[in-house]
A and B are shown apart, each in its own frame.
Chain A
Amino acid sequence: MYTREAHPGEHVGAHHSVEDKLHNAALLRDEVGIRRPIVVDDLDGTSHLAYGGLPNMTWVIARGGTIVYKADWTSAANVEAFLARYVAGRSRRPASGVVAPYVTEQIEYRDLDRPAFYERLQRNGPRSYTEFKRAEAIWQERG
């Protein structure tokens, strides 16, 4: 789902209309090369906010509409490993003959590739980079 622009800049800015949003979503598809289907949220972010509004979440929803995976950051490897575990777990037939679901919560670590990220910010526009550097200073001050 395509959301608000996390790091608006001179070239790829904040959305003022649905047309802006559709235009930037097409950039994501064409320039970044996303081949998964893209669904564009409304201008107010109704669906995005219903899920917490974070910039790069992944959720897995089982057939029937139950949430089975929630992550505040997307790791394709983590999602893939979860899906394999989930599918295998559901279809397993243990000696007892039954399986039961249980819930886990973990902390995982991701690679912070700042140079590559800064390059993407520059693509959005120089102020996107400058504003992120200011944000880093704010985070540092807060500890």
Chain B
Amino acid sequence: MTYNYERFDEYVASGDEQREFAAFPSHLHAGESAPEITGVRLEDGATVQLSQDWARRPVVVEFGSFT
């Protein structure tokens, strides 16, 4: 699987998209521990770990891209 696929139609044709959607219902559940989320905060370029946020307060995480 190429994570940063170049072409959406090829990604769908490869079956990767179908496999990812099919696997989702059995992947992580309410009641389980949240995996760490690490990334660069866009506003200041700092590397952040969201576990430091959810240690103190609830966190809503939406995943997405430009489209």
Enumerate chain A interface residues (CB-CB to B < 8 A).
Answer: 1-8, 12-16, 18, 22, 24-29, 31-32, 36-70, 72, 74, 79, 83, 101, 103, 120-121, 123-124, 127-128, 130-132, 134-135, 138-139, 142
B12–A28 CB distance below 8 A: no
What are 9 A-B residue pairs whose CB atoms fall within 8 Å in the complex?
A2-B64, A5-B67, A6-B67, A8-B6, A32-B66, A60-B59, A61-B60, A67-B33, A132-B9
Max chain A Cβ within 10 angstroms of own Cβ: one of B23, B24, B55, B60: B60
Expressed in whole angstroms, the Cα–Cα distance for A67 and B33 within the complex equals 6
In the assembled complex, the CB of A101 is this many whole angstroms from the nearest CB of chain B, namely 8
Expressed in whole angstroms, the Cα–Cα distance for A134 and B13 within the complex equals 9
A61–B64 CB distance below 8 A: no
Contacts of B6-57 to chain A: CB distance below 8 A: 6-10, 12-13, 17-18, 20-21, 23-24, 27-43, 48, 50-51, 54-57
Expressed in whole angstroms, the Cα–Cα distance for A8 and B4 within the complex equals 9
A70–B29 CB distance below 8 A: yes
A54–B61 CB distance below 8 A: no
B30–A54 CB distance below 8 A: no
Expressed in whole angstroms, the Cα–Cα distance for A31 and B65 within the complex equals 12
Q: Contacting A67 at CB < 8 Å: which of B6, B17, B23, B28?
A: B28
In the assembled complex, the CB of B29 is this many whole angstroms from the nearest CB of chain A, namely 7
B21–A72 CB distance below 8 A: yes
Asked, given contacts A6-B8, A67-B32, A69-B30, whether A40 binds B59 with beta carbons under 8 Å apart, the answer is no
B56–A52 CB distance below 8 A: no
A135–B65 CB distance below 8 A: no
Expressed in whole angstroms, the Cα–Cα distance for A142 and B37 within the complex equals 34
